[in-house]
Amino acid sequence: MLRMVAVLVLLDTLVQAALAGLFVTGDLDLLAWHAANAGALSALSVVQTVAALAVWRVMRGPRWPTVASAVLVAMVSAQQGLGEARILAGHLPLGMAVFGCAAALTCWAFTHRADASVRPVRSPLEVAE
């Protein structure tokens, strides 16, 4: 699940950059698409945080991807605010940071291997059986 969502977040971040680039070249209609897609990226980053939380708590993975995903949610939120306020001096560099964080999380999701000696946390329903 985390791998799938991480790829979607990364791809959506690339779509955001493409929409911004096309807007800058003169297609003013794409600004509305860029703003609407920011909402989709925000929602996807929240879903990624939930998936990272499940990897940490249920599968006993490392904690840092959950923290990094939560930071990504905050960065995307700040990015939206800066964009709506037209503060490009902060919006553009933060966009690069969002992409870097999304890329790092996606790379980790595909390279991390769970320790075979660590078993996932059992649910209360499994314990009762």
**CA-only gyration radius of the chain, Å:** 17
Spatial neighbors of 95 by CB under 8 A, at least 6 apart, are 16, 17, 20, 79
3-25 pLDDT tens trace: 999 999 999 999 999 999 998 89
86-104 pLDDT tens trace: 999 999 999 999 999 999 9
